[in-house]
Structure 1
Amino acid sequence: MLAIPIASVVMASMITTLPIYAPLPILPPFGFLMFLAWRLMRPGLLPVWSGVPFGLTDDIFSGQPFGSAGLLWSLAMLTIEIIDSRAIWRDHIQDWLIAALLTIATLLGGLWITAMAHAASHPSILLPQIILSILLYPLVVRICARLDSWRLAT
């Protein structure tokens, strides 16, 4: 039962290995979006510490400095845990807002971590990637919902 969410996050992280050429970073972090969708849709399914292994797996495929996504995904998971402990209920719009803010923070955090090792670009270079990530989040949630209904049916 747990293999479907794990496999979907890992396969979504592998999308960044596709040979797509763009002068700017435009490909959304599908692994992170899938991870957020599973966590926000099914709160008890993934443990809090799952951000580390999923993030490290994403680092392997994305080419970011090893450990950066492990740290950032863990911080995102802890942020969601804090929101869940304080919120009485959430709807889809609030989940979309949470995912949008965490995606922006994670992309900017990844740029900041990369800037420690290399000369980094201005953060405005991430604007197309951020916008596309925010707009594609409902599609990722729809895919997770389909996978979840298939997971529960088996």
Structure 2
Amino acid sequence: MAKGKDNSLATNRKARHDYFIESTIEAGIELRGTEVKSLRQGKANISDAYAEIVGGEVYVENMHISPYKQGNIFNMDPLRKRKLLLHKSEIRKLDRDLTLKGYTLIPLRLYLNRGRVKVELALARGKKLYDKRQSLAQKDANRKIEQAMKERYI
């Protein structure tokens, strides 16, 4: 990414709260019609999206890209399955991790990279309720420590 410039089109803020992120991978996405124009306007929602491997290909589901206003007949279904572009070796590795280790594939963000829309996919394991509470408690404790340090040195 360019310095000081965030090319994010959409982020999944809920993902880091609901999952332990093990690793991430960049993938291209196959878009049709006016979906890119709609994405550039920030009309995407990936908070409930997930990816799955079907027949040796990776698809992202439940990603909502709103129809482009001036798109008329070129607009697509907002919730259609979209194919992700990965190398065969990457797909095999993801498939192995999904089946053997019980991970889930979730998109963390959509962003532009040299004019192309990319998806940052994460191999993630779901958090239990007590894990979420523990994460919140840890975050709260760190915040209190930071405040105490600021007060001490001011």
Q: TM-score range by the shorter chain?
A: under 0.3
- From the two aligned structures, give the one with the greater helix fraction: 1
TM-score for both structures, normalised by structure 2: 0.25
TM-score for both structures, normalised by structure 1: 0.25
Which protein has the larger Cα radius of gyration, Structure 1 or Structure 2? 2
